Amino acid sequence: MGALRERMRESLELRGCRPNTVATYLGCARRFAAYFMRSPAELGAEEIRTFLVHLMRERKLSFSSQAVYVAALRALYTETLARSEEVQWLRAPKGSPRLPQVLSGTEVRRVLRAVRSLRHRAVLMTCYAAGLRVTEACSLQVEDVDSRRMVLHIRDGKGGRERYVMLSRRLLSFLRKYWRKVRPPGPYLFPGRGSTGRISRVMVHRTFRAAVRDAGLSRHVTTHSLRHSFATHLLECGVDVRVIQALLGHASIRTTTLYAKVTTGLIGRTRSPLDLLGTPRGAVLG
């Protein structure tokens, strides 16, 4: 689907989609075409339904992953092929969001210590210290580190939103050590060999998986778990959820409050009303 692929890319870029979104949607369309071994231009509503059932029953994709395919196919048929009637019936699947996978403080230390590369350890440490997405950390430029105001400038977050996050003193010390060793030649704090000039997020993901294995962790966690851990640990330390929302760059506070469901520290410190019965504090219970 060479020509069709380029038309879809152009449609998505004209809509203002982020590069990662464009790549993800193109991948979904490619797998849709490969499933039937035919161009999407020759397929319609029935094939779309069959493919989505395959994703749900055979591949057992999560609701969120299925929703990405739905969005990609809607974009393909509505904007690229101009056949919106084929996808008018499509709705994003509904399901309860999964609780984020959170590492304990001890586990974070074990994983970071297991990273042998100074550059990769600096990237992953930045993800946890500031709650960054991997793409945001990889895209940091040298001038984004403001040691005078002790903040990091996130230029191009999700949805193109800018924000500032705190600059950890321990992270700053490590970055200075990294700087003296590596001396990045270009604008990016973490340079890479690819065409973008910055470190590859794929390599960061691979390094993290290897570090998790070497650290002896058996459960499934990803680089995004560092961001989840950042938010959860702040909440457990008593930081206001609205501050955490701003640090994470969430558009809606509803997204941020999901972390309240996994803060076992706060849950464990919350007293049951049973413990208050017959005490002065329990007087408010009537």
Rounded distance between C-alpha atoms, residue 74 and residue 85, angstroms:
10
Query: Does the annotation mark 133 as catalytic?
Result: yes
- The DSSP output letter for 270 is S
Global confidence as pTM: 0.77
Catalytic residue among 155, 158, 205, 209: 158
Q: Which one-letter amino acid corresponds to residue 144?
A: D
What phi and psi, each to the nearest 5 degrees, are found at residue 82?
A: 55, 40
Edge-to-edge strand ranges of the sheet holding 163-166:
145-146, 151-154, 163-166
Sign of the CA dihedral running 127, 133, 139, 142: negative
Query: Does the annotation mark 227 as catalytic?
Result: yes
Query: Does the annotation mark 120 as catalytic?
Result: no
Query: Does the annotation mark 259 as catalytic?
Result: yes
CATH placement of domain 105-267? 1.10.443.10
Q: Which one-letter amino acid corresponds to residue 56?
A: M
Q: The CATH number of 2-86 is which of 1.10.10.10, 1.10.150.130, 3.20.20.80, 1.10.287.70?
A: 1.10.150.130
Catalytic residue among 120, 227, 228, 233: 227
Q: Which two tokens stand for residue 286?
A: 């009537």
Q: Which two tokens stand for residue 25?
A: 């949607």
Mind listing the pLDDT tens digit of every residue in the chain (286 residues)? 689 999 999 999 999 888 889 999 999 999 999 999 999 999 999 999 999 999 999 998 888 899 999 999 999 999 999 999 999 999 888 766 677 889 999 999 999 999 999 999 999 999 999 999 999 999 999 999 999 999 999 987 777 789 999 999 999 999 999 999 999 888 999 998 877 799 999 999 999 999 999 999 988 899 999 999 999 898 888 888 888 898 898 888 777 777 776 666 666 666 666 566 577 876 765 5
Query: Does the annotation mark 94 as catalytic?
Result: no
Catalytic residue among 119, 133, 228, 233: 133
3-class state of residue 220 by DSSP = coil
Helices marked H in the chain — which ranges?
Answer: 2-15, 19-36, 45-57, 63-75, 105-113, 118-130, 134-138, 169-182, 201-214, 224-236, 241-248, 253-256, 264-269, 273-276
Rounded distance between C-alpha atoms, residue 59 and residue 259, angstroms:
28
H/E stretch holding 166 reads: strand 163-166
Tally of CB atoms within 10 A around 206: 13
Query: Does the annotation mark 219 as catalytic?
Result: no
CA dihedral 172, 178, 183, 187 (to 10 degrees): -50
Q: Report whether 209 contacts 202 (CB < 8 A).
A: no
H/E stretch holding 145 reads: strand 145-146
Rounded distance between C-alpha atoms, residue 282 and residue 275, angstroms:
8
Catalytic residue among 25, 77, 128, 259: 259
Q: Which residues contact 195 (CB under 8 A, 6 or more apart)?
A: none
Domains of the chain: which residue ranges?
2-86, 105-267
